[in-house]
């Protein structure tokens, strides 16, 4: 928080504990810019690890970036962690009806951006029912063509959005294989609904050329 606001909260906290210094009101909701912190993961170095978040600490580092709004700062932070913006296609796998409904508007945005959408059978059927063009790929355990794994291996997919449901055992196992293959083949993976929705919104608003590269002090003025 101190790095984004320019306020030395270590000093503020120390003065409060010691009951010294003057009472102040700090405003952080009208800075004129936004800071976003993104985790850096190392799942690629851990063979077989499932790249999903649980209660334990999984990140091995963090990246903090600034922008004029949350979309610019968010995209900068993801790019800094090694995420590439999709240019041609996106693979979408959404377990459960609720997840499909939640992601529908984002899927429409992806389609309107001209990105080719690939999806598993259930997701493809749902998207087509709601007037979103999607191309079906067979799941890995089905051993049929065209297969998700083949498309990941040949880099025909730029981004994987895999929102799983642990209550669906067979789907969960297959989703693990998809997530793991994404990591092994160096394809960006989004496995959280809120993150995926924000990412889609951000790439619909910001182009790569819109992301300004500025020094820290261009945003933050440090105060004692």
Residue 89 has pLDDT above 80, yes or no: yes
Task: Report the sign of the C-alpha dihedral through residues 7, 13, 18, 23, in that order.
Answer: positive
Confidence bin at 96 (pLDDT 50/70/90): confident
Q: Where in the chain is the domain with CATH 3.40.50.1380?
A: 34-210
Peptide bond between residue 146 and the one before it cis (omega within 30 degrees of 0): yes
pLDDT at 14 over 70: yes
Percent of the chain past pLDDT 90, that is, above it, reads 39
Say what the pLDDT of residue 74 is: 94
More confident residue, 140 or 214: 214
Query: Residue for token digits 């009951």?
Result: 19
Distance in angstroms (rounded) separating the CA atoms of residues 110 and 80: 22
Calculate the average pLDDT of the chain. 84
Q: How many CB atoms lie within 10 A of CB 153?
A: 14
Pairwise CA distance, residues 199 & 83, whole Å: 11
pLDDT score of 172 more than 70: no
Q: 63 falls in which pLDDT band (50, 70, 90)?
A: confident
* Domain 34-210 CATH class label: alpha beta
Distances 10 to 15, 17, 73, 100 between C-alpha atoms, Å: 9, 11, 25, 44
Q: What's this model's pTM, rounded to 2 decimal places? A: 0.82
Dist. CA 153–CA 114, nearest whole Å: 22
Q: How confident is the model at residue 117 (pLDDT cuts 50, 70, 90)?
A: very high
Task: Select the highest-mean-pLDDT range: 13-22, 24-33, 201-210.
Answer: 201-210
Residues 43 and 41: their CA atoms lie apart, in Å, by 6
Closest Cα to residue 151, out of 132, 137, 162, 135? 137
Q: 160 with 196: CB under 8 angstroms?
A: no
């Amino acid at each position: 928080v101190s790095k984004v606001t320019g306020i030395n909260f270590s000093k503020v906290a120390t003065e409060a504990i010691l009951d010294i210094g003057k009472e102040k009101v700090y405003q952080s909701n009208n800075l004129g810019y936004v800071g976003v912190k993104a985790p850096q993961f190392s799942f690629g170095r851990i063979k077989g690890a499932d790249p999903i978040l649980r209660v334990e600490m999984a990140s091995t580092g963090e990246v903090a970036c600034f922008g004029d709004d949350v979309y610019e700062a968010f995209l900068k932070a993801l790019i800094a962690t090694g995420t590439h913006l999709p240019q041609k296609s996106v693979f979408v796998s959404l377990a459960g009806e609720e997840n499909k409904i939640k992601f529908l508007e984002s899927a429409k945005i992806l389609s309107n951006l001209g990105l080719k959408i690939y999806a598993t059978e259930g997701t493809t059927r749902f998207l087509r029912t709601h007037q979103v063009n999607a191309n079906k790929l067979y799941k890995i355990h089905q051993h049929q063509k065209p297969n998700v794994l083949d498309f990941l291996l040949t880099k025909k997919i730029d981004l994987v959005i895999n929102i799983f449901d642990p209550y669906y055992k067979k789907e969960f196992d297959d989703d693990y294989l998809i997530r793991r293959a994404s990591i092994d083949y160096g394809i960006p993976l989004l496995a959280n609904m809120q993150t995926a929705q924000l990412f889609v919104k951000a790439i619909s608003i910001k182009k790569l050329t819109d992301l300004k590269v500025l020094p820290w002090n261009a945003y933050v003025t440090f105060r004692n």
